[in-house]
Chains A and B, each alone.
Chain A
Amino acid sequence: MKKALNQSLHKSHANVLLKVIGLSFLSFCTVAQGAIAKTEQNAASAIMQQAKGHTVTGSVKSESGEALIGVSVRVKGTSRGSITDVDGNFSIMNVSSNETLEISYVGYATMNVKAGNAPLNITLKENSQNLNEVVVVGYGTQKKVNLTGAISTTSGATLQKYTSPNSASALQGQLPGLQITQGSGQPGAESVNMQVRGFGSFGSSNTPLIVVDGIPTGTMPSVDNIESVTVLKDASSAAIYGSRAASGVILITTKRGQSGRANIDYNFNIAFNESTKIPDLITNAADYMTLYNQANDHSGITGRNYSQADIDKYRNNVGNPMYPNTDWMSLLFRTAISQTHSLTVSGGSDRTTYSFNFNYVDQPGVQVGYSFNRFTSQSNIETQINKKIKAGLNIAVNYGHRVSPGSEDSGQNSLFQQFMSQAPTFSPYLADGSGRYTENAFPTSEYNLKTNPMLTLDLSKKTYNSFYTQVNPYLQVQLTDWLSWDINGSFTYSFSKNKQFGFNANTYNFVTNVMSTNRSATTSKGLSVTDANSISPLLFSTLKFNKTFGDHSIGAMIGTQIEYSKSESLGAGRQLYTTADTQEINAGGSSSISNSGTASENSLLSYFGRINYNYKDKYLLEFNMRADASSRFAKDSRWGYFPSVSLGWRPFKETFIPKISWMDDLKLRASYGSLGNLGNSLYPYQSVMSTNGFYSYDGSTISSGMAVNGLVNKSISWEVTKVFDLGFDVTLLDNKFFLTFDYFNKKTTGILRKQQMIFESGYSSSSPYINSGAMQNTGFELSAEYRGKIDKVNFGVKWNIQTFKNKVTKFGNPEITSNGEAIPSIIEEGKPYGSFYLYDWDGIFQTQAEADASGQTNKPKAGDIRIKDHDGKAGISSEDKILVDGKFPKYSTGLTLSANWKGLDVTAFFYGTFGQKIFVYGSGYEPFFLQSIPTKEWLNAWTPENKSNTMPAVYDAQHYRSAFNTYPSTYNLKDNSFLRLKNLNIGWTFNMAKVTKNVLNSVRVYFAGENLFTITKFKGLDPERAGNGGYYVTYPQNRVYSLGLNVKF
């Protein structure tokens, strides 16, 4: 029944979808035509007014003589203009011969040409990308050629080949130095983890600061609205962000309008998502039952084996609904069809430019019960009020709506786990068609630790609605030709509503006809709602100076910034609901209610400045400084100062250095400076009383206790990261080959962490924050790019590799995790942070005699895991543990191959990380863990008849003392190195300008795929996971096949 329902849902979904595509396409065409008609009208009236001059014609070619299509040709200082057609030709009416034409095209240097009278033959020069490109830096822009710091940039166009709605995951592998891991494929909750140049601190956050259009923010704009992304990696480039820059800074600029005709850009994408990997569980009930008996026998559990008669019933009654072979995974996973619409309208007059973007994502999950919808809108408008003053406004509005079942999203209480813990011997609903939920089939053998997941799907729900808006007005005043003043404000408001509902139902055993009452769908019953909101106003102002004195060029900037943020939350809950249909607070019984509320605030005041000096484009010098004062620290330790200095030298500009024919340019760079990290706590130095413990003096009402929250240290301050960077940029082979290399040595000292306090103090878990401990990350980044042309095929190869080595240089007493807790690891000076510290797996006991002689205290049996005795002493003790590397990847790499020929373009992006290991446990790995169904490989488990030295005997992980509990070993440590085709995009562009008389410029249709294939030795679900490791079962990544349409008017 449920299956049918799902199918019909899919069907109707597809129908709706097709209608939506059709309708939206039509309506956009209409809107677009209207807009263009209007533009033409305007142009016509402008012509009427001027009504003089002649028609200018011409053609635009590239240096290689190829006609350039879609080049903008504009009469300077007016809104009149045109674009070139397929043959590179253009014509503009009513141009007087002394007017200037401005010819611009992406990737080429803009040219100005006098209109004259004769037809024009214009050859555009390709932008020598690495030399003349302007990149966004902190509080400004800079010519790439003059940069002395270590930064990585990528353009929005590159990212837009990637169709994932999550901008952060689109950055993966694109920017050397920025390590991105996507932990989950859950729509809207991909748990993307970003890290710049290694794991910098064990006390504070390692997440880089994200700055969008100059404003520090927590949300990234949608991919299609990104103009460029810059990552500031070294102290020189990041110090301008001072106390929050230690983990790097990611600068994002959103798209601006260009003066000239209105551009309408509509993007549509429909994607078929499936999970990259689904656990291969046993679905044959008889096989399962046999294996279960085998596990019981090995585990010494008696009295619950399936009888041979029962097994035979399943063996011999295939197709009988009383004896199903349920494939629970197929009920959990589906192919989900998601769609994205994006519309951008941009353009402007010579004074005012605008860009409006609207983006909608509808993304159901590959796991049933999951979905995500998002609306994003970004509006940027800028106007030149007079010669000196420019004003602008950026507005971002986002709304997200995420739905999931009431169970947790990962781990032991997840829906995934629930599905895994159902035996194939029964199906979710009773075979009688009554729609009642099945409990299990064999009361003596099967007891469900996990409730029937259909009950969770039907009766529980979590919704997360988030609303985010940012308004960012600014003013730029050109005081003189060498001095300008910027003032920039922003106000951010965010609101989220988190609702969680769970209900109970009865489940039935269809063999015994017994009912289990009140099986709960989730661990928490009833409804809980949390509203959270935050406001953060921000204001900054800068004064910029730029002047050239002969060979000396000097730039300077000073500025100040003030930030405040306040967050509040309010929660309420009720437990007694009589139905799952009404999921609001008032619908619940009032006898069991709860509420909560909290607020917090913090602020930051900063002054910053920068000086750069450039002598003949040969010697480059830059000095940055920021002073920050944060409310998080006590008065006397509130101010932090973050200076940096960097140098650049371009040897080929020297007369005494001979030119090398194949080397166009070389720049050597060095920088050193310090960055800060604020830590995670808002009030780390304040000693407060907080609720601690509960007690009932009368046996009915609960009193909360109050106790000192923990010890404090008033003298704490920032942690400081000092970065030394050495790098070079080379341009070779006639501006076709670019190479950038950076070596870094990043030392974090005074890590803002909890003091290690002895257990006997009673405050070992609530010790004060102190500045102590140090960590070092060293590594390099290399990126190379070649752009070439064979015949009419343009192609590009972009490759980058990054690596870092992490070392704890000062920690104090080593910390070792206890047995049975999380990942067995050690934090010890001289070693990577949290290195794996575990027993060494040494095969499998083939005989009981071997097992008995081992000295393993878990009393192993033949078929169990053998632990290697490393210390030579009798027995296996903690001294037999070894350090195993693999905590951090050895390196990660990204390779982009792109080519285009006429209208066809192909981009393939490969991404891989190597040398990382994860410690895995739980369902899918340990047989019968939480009664989960083992994977098929256990059918080949060790038995006295089927001996193996790699596959142990099957056991019941819930009741058997396997080596895993006593001796967490390398058996559980898996190499998750992988290389995957992260993205493939094949498109064909039709130039429509001629056909539609410039109404429709181009149409691009494309196929895009994500995670199309993965090469890995890792046998679990997706090898890519945020954090490293742990639970075997996590919401898997998606493999996506999508079709898209891009229409430009």
Chain B
Amino acid sequence: MKYKYLLLLAALASFATSCSDLLDKNPLDSTTVETFYKNEDQVKSALTTLYGRMGFGWAGGADVPGATSIYSGIVALDCCTDNGQMGWGANVTQGGTMVPSNGYIQDYYKFQYDAIAKCNDFIQTMESDKVSFLSDGSRKQYIAEAKFVRAWSYFNLTYLWGDVALVLTSSTPDIKVGQSSQADVLAAIISDLDYGIANLPNTAFKGGRFVKGAAYAMKMRVALYKKDYATVIDCWNKYFGTAENQFSISSNYEDVFKGDNQRNNPEIIYSFYAADYTSTSLGWNAINDVILVTCSWGDFIGMQNCVDEYEFKDGTPFSKTNPLYDATDAFNNRDPRLSMVFLDPVLQTADGSIYNIPSVTKKTTVIKKYLLNSDLPIKHGYVPKRDAVLLRYADVVLMYAEALNENGGQNAAVVNAIQMIRGRKGVNMPALSTSLTQAQLRTAIKHERRVELAFEGTRYLDLLRWKDMKAAMVKAAADDPKRSFDDYQYWWPIPAQAILQNSLLKKTAGYTY
């Protein structure tokens, strides 16, 4: 009998022997953090994550990277201004939506910090000895690129929320941080961009990566926001106005945004390449299905208000009493950019050649800026891709003009700069008079920015920094009665959930939490 018990005990014990092996299980389909960063390819794939964050973070939450830039970013932002309107809930300038519990505002806020944390982790690794296999030059270039993404994200935060939390190192689970003053945030942004100016290669834009010119252009945008006109002019003088400059005005306005000549266009300083993302997990969000969203679904449409901003071809403002006004086709005799940005209603013929435009948008203001003629008549389904231009030379020139004008006394230079844009081949708008006052020139620059940069995502920032948002919304309400704006809304509300979770944060003044 006894041997049986022994056998039994042996059998029971045998389970335990293989125990340690049995219980050590590691993920089978991913690399652990400890074993990553073995070669430059891996570094580049970590960098890819950062570039993927060069977006706006709308339309589906923080995980949708910038591949959706045109759809959810630049056009959407302009549709929160007097340029356009949108059919979905992200429009924060619609009455009642700019509240601390707004999910889109929260997503936008989160998206920026998610990108920043990724940048911080990356920079910290690049500064460690884990990547000793990199040459010093390429290591610095990687850091500069990460810092650019970080600066981009912080700028998105600070121009909307003002004082925001400033995190520049890797996060730990028990991280505690309150808001820093906007001045400190802006200083950190400038410092990141200065690193880029020093360490990014000076070439034209290619390979999808940031170049020296991009760091300068971004720095100008930030400096202009700070009303630091000297720095804007200084950037111009050090780079864009020198032989080092790699960029110029495109001889065809439409080429900048679409078509075969978009890639390698000399005007583009940075664009988010729209490859065919349909095979990725991004799904349809990524296909830059501009046609679908701008026209067919009526998600994004322009405003009459914006259409009317376009002058007649002789430079006179739009008015129905102007002799150049053509009652049968209001797009006739206008600034040529009008027909390049909006679809002439006359083309939306009764026979329905653009028949899938729903009645809500039909014969109003279809945004054509990102449509090719071959996209028409509008069809459902996949359309060829086009890149989302985030920084371009025309913007830089107008920023330079604005800074010059604000400094005063340089009318000729201001007018010359503006004329680089207005006089572009194919646009050929007459030059402004050099005898305009500073205020008149200011108005002219604002006008030029609006018509030149329509639906490129800069209008919201411009209206905020000029403090013109309220007036613009009053006008916009004529087209879209849901618009409203109060002065406290010059700052977006820190999301209610952020306040709930972080007791160090201050609520944004004016809002009901």
Give the residue name and chain of the A residue nearest to B122 (CB): A707
Is A603's CB under 8 angstroms from B29's CB? no
Is A697's CB under 8 angstroms from B501's CB? no
A813 within 8 A of B: yes
Enumerate chain B residues within 8 angstroms of A539, measured Cβ to Cβ.
15
* Chain B contact residues, majority secondary structure: loop
Give the residue name and chain of the B residue nearest to A880 (CB): B512
Is B278's CB under 8 angstroms from A575's CB? yes
A857 within 8 A of B: yes
Enumerate chain B residues within 8 angstroms of A820, measured Cβ to Cβ.
89, 102-103
Binary per-residue interface labels of chain A (850-885) against chain B in the complex, 1 for a CB within 8 Å, 0 otherwise: 000000111100000000000000010111000000
Q: A761-B175, A813-B501, A857-B95 are in contact. Are A600 and B380 (CB under 8 A)?
A: no
Enumerate chain B residues within 8 angstroms of A481, measured Cβ to Cβ.
none
Nearest Cβ on chain A to B168's Cβ, whole angstroms: 12
Is A702's CB under 8 angstroms from B280's CB? yes
A768 within 8 A of B: yes
Is B482's CB under 8 angstroms from A859's CB? yes
Enumerate chain A residues within 8 angstroms of B117, measured Cβ to Cβ.
761-763
Is A762's CB under 8 angstroms from B359's CB? no
Is B282's CB under 8 angstroms from A504's CB? no
Q: A631-B23, A631-B24 are in contact. Are A693 and B53 (CB under 8 A)?
A: yes
Residue in B51, B115, B283 whose beta carbon sits within 8 Å of that of A695 in the complex: B51
Question: How far is it, in angstroms, between the C-alpha of A601 and the C-alpha of B24 when the chains are bound?
Answer: 10
Question: How far is it, in angstroms, between the C-alpha of A1009 and the C-alpha of B426 when the chains are bound?
Answer: 76
A41 within 8 A of B: no
Enumerate chain B residues within 8 angstroms of A541, measured Cβ to Cβ.
11-12, 15
Residue in B26, B45, B63, B512 whose beta carbon sits within 8 Å of that of A705 in the complex: B45
Is B167's CB under 8 angstroms from A690's CB? no
Question: How far is it, in angstroms, between the C-alpha of A470 and the C-alpha of B117 when the chains are bound?
Answer: 47
Enumerate chain A residues within 8 angstroms of B95, measured Cβ to Cβ.
857-859
Enumerate chain B residues within 8 angstroms of A695, measured Cβ to Cβ.
48-49, 51-52, 65, 67, 208, 273
Nearest Cβ on chain A to B26's Cβ, whole angstroms: 6
Taking CB atoms and an 8 Å cut-off, the chain B residues in 100-136 that contact chain A are 100-103, 106, 109-110, 113-118, 120-121
Is A702's CB under 8 angstroms from B16's CB? no
Give the residue name and chain of the A residue nearest to B30 (CB): A688
B276 within 8 A of A: yes
Is B32's CB under 8 angstroms from A687's CB? yes
A699 within 8 A of B: yes
Partner-contacting stretch, out of B433-441, B460-468, B490-498: B490-498
Enumerate chain A residues within 8 angstroms of B379, measured Cβ to Cβ.
516-518
Question: How far is it, in angstroms, between the C-alpha of A263 and the C-alpha of B391 when the chains are bound?
Answer: 82
B471 within 8 A of A: no
Is A711's CB under 8 angstroms from B172's CB? yes
A814 within 8 A of B: yes
Nearest Cβ on chain A to B22's Cβ, whole angstroms: 5
Is A693's CB under 8 angstroms from B52's CB? yes
Binary per-residue interface labels of chain A (585-604) against chain B in the complex, 1 for a CB within 8 Å, 0 otherwise: 00000001110011111110
Is A706's CB under 8 angstroms from B118's CB? no
Nearest Cβ on chain B to A407's Cβ, whole angstroms: 15
Is B167's CB under 8 angstroms from A699's CB? no
Nearest Cβ on chain A to B209's Cβ, whole angstroms: 7
Residue in A635, A697, A762 whose beta carbon sits within 8 Å of that of B273 in the complex: A697
B27 within 8 A of A: yes
Partner-contacting stretch, out of A173-181, A211-219, A296-304, A322-330: A296-304
Residue in B45, B46, B356, B513 whose beta carbon sits within 8 Å of that of A516 in the complex: B356
Taking CB atoms and an 8 Å cut-off, the chain B residues in 52-99 that contact chain A are 52-53, 62-63, 65, 67, 87, 89, 94-97, 99
Q: A304-B360, A520-B380, A692-B49 are in contact. Are A878 and B500 (CB under 8 A)?
A: no
Is A764's CB under 8 angstroms from B30's CB? no
Residue in B15, B284, B355, B501 whose beta carbon sits within 8 Å of that of A758 in the complex: B501
B327 within 8 A of A: no
Nearest Cβ on chain A to B111's Cβ, whole angstroms: 10
Enumerate chain A residues within 8 angstroms of B484, measured Cβ to Cβ.
857
Taking CB atoms and an 8 Å cut-off, the chain A residues in 470-505 that contact chain B are 479-480, 485, 487, 504
Is B49's CB under 8 angstroms from A705's CB? yes
Q: A518-B379, A629-B23, A878-B512 are in contact. Are A758 and B45 (CB under 8 A)?
A: no
Enumerate chain B residues within 8 angstroms of A762, measured Cβ to Cβ.
113-118, 120, 167, 171
Give the residue name and chain of the B residue nearest to A593 (CB): B279
Is B495's CB under 8 angstroms from A878's CB? no
B36 within 8 A of A: yes
Max chain B Cβ within 10 angstroms of own Cβ: one of A605, A695, A879: A695
Give the residue name and chain of the B residue nearest to A480 (CB): B1
Binary per-residue interface labels of chain A (659-698) against chain B in the complex, 1 for a CB within 8 Å, 0 otherwise: 0000000000000000000000011001111101111111
Question: How far is it, in angstroms, between the C-alpha of A818 and the C-alpha of B499 when the chains are bound?
Answer: 13
Question: How far is it, in angstroms, between the C-alpha of A920 and the C-alpha of B268 when the chains are bound?
Answer: 48
A445 within 8 A of B: yes
Question: How far is it, in angstroms, between the C-alpha of A152 and the C-alpha of B382 when the chains are bound?
Answer: 57
Is B500's CB under 8 angstroms from A814's CB? yes
Is A605's CB under 8 angstroms from B15's CB? yes
Question: How far is it, in angstroms, between the C-alpha of A959 and the C-alpha of B32 when the chains are bound?
Answer: 48
Q: A693-B48, A821-B103 are in contact. Are A631 and B175 (CB under 8 A)?
A: no
Q: A762-B114, A762-B120, A877-B512 are in contact. Are A600 and B12 (CB under 8 A)?
A: no
B311 within 8 A of A: no
Enumerate chain A residues within 8 angstroms of B273, measured Cβ to Cβ.
695-699
A759 within 8 A of B: yes
Give the residue name and chain of the B residue nearest to A445 (CB): B359
Is A516's CB under 8 angstroms from B279's CB? no
Question: How far is it, in angstroms, between the C-alpha of A519 and the C-alpha of B115 when the chains are bound?
Answer: 37
Is A759's CB under 8 angstroms from B115's CB? no
Q: A445-B359, A694-B67, A702-B279 are in contact. Are A816 and B52 (CB under 8 A)?
A: no
Enumerate chain B residues within 8 angstroms of A479, measured Cβ to Cβ.
1, 4-5
Give the residue name and chain of the A residue nearest to B482 (CB): A961
Nearest Cβ on chain A to B336's Cβ, whole angstroms: 28
Is B49's CB under 8 angstroms from A444's CB? no
Is B102's CB under 8 angstroms from A562's CB? no
Q: A697-B207, A698-B208, A761-B167 are in contact. Are A961 and B358 (CB under 8 A)?
A: no
Enumerate chain B residues within 8 angstroms of A756, measured Cβ to Cβ.
501
A312 within 8 A of B: no
Question: How far is it, in angstroms, between the C-alpha of A708 and the C-alpha of B172 when the chains are bound?
Answer: 13
Is A966's CB under 8 angstroms from B496's CB? no
Taking CB atoms and an 8 Å cut-off, the chain B residues in 1-45 that contact chain A are 1, 4-5, 8, 11-12, 15-16, 19, 22-34, 36, 42, 44-45
Enumerate chain B residues within 8 angstroms of A40, measured Cβ to Cβ.
none
Max chain A Cβ within 10 angstroms of own Cβ: one of B36, B87, B297: B36
Question: How far is it, in angstroms, between the C-alpha of A980 and the C-alpha of B460 when the chains are bound?
Answer: 56
Enumerate chain A residues within 8 angstroms of B307, measured Cβ to Cβ.
none
Enumerate chain A residues within 8 angstroms of B359, measured Cβ to Cβ.
301, 303-304, 444-445, 447
Is B173's CB under 8 angstroms from A713's CB? yes
Enumerate chain A residues within 8 angstroms of B96, measured Cβ to Cβ.
856-859, 961, 966
Enumerate chain A residues within 8 angstroms of B481, measured Cβ to Cβ.
300, 859
Is A693's CB under 8 angstroms from B65's CB? yes
B318 within 8 A of A: no
Give the residue name and chain of the A residue nearest to B20 (CB): A635
Enumerate chain B residues within 8 angstroms of A303, measured Cβ to Cβ.
359-360, 362-363
Nearest Cβ on chain A to B208's Cβ, whole angstroms: 4
Is A694's CB under 8 angstroms from B277's CB? yes
B387 within 8 A of A: yes
Enumerate chain A residues within 8 angstroms of B116, measured Cβ to Cβ.
762
Q: A758-B175, A762-B120, A816-B101 are in contact. Are A705 and B51 (CB under 8 A)?
A: yes
24 A-B residue pairs with Cβ-Cβ distance under 8 Å, sorted by A, are A301-B360, A303-B359, A447-B359, A479-B1, A518-B379, A518-B381, A600-B29, A605-B16, A629-B23, A630-B23, A631-B23, A688-B27, A697-B209, A698-B275, A702-B275, A759-B502, A760-B113, A760-B165, A762-B114, A767-B173, A818-B102, A818-B495, A819-B99, A820-B89
For the complex with contacts A703-B48, A770-B173, 7 further pairs of A-B residues with Cβ separation under 8 Å are A688-B27, A688-B33, A700-B276, A704-B280, A707-B121, A757-B173, A764-B501
Q: Which 9 A-B pairs have the closest CB atoms?
A: A762-B117, A693-B52, A857-B96, A705-B49, A304-B359, A818-B103, A705-B48, A696-B275, A877-B512
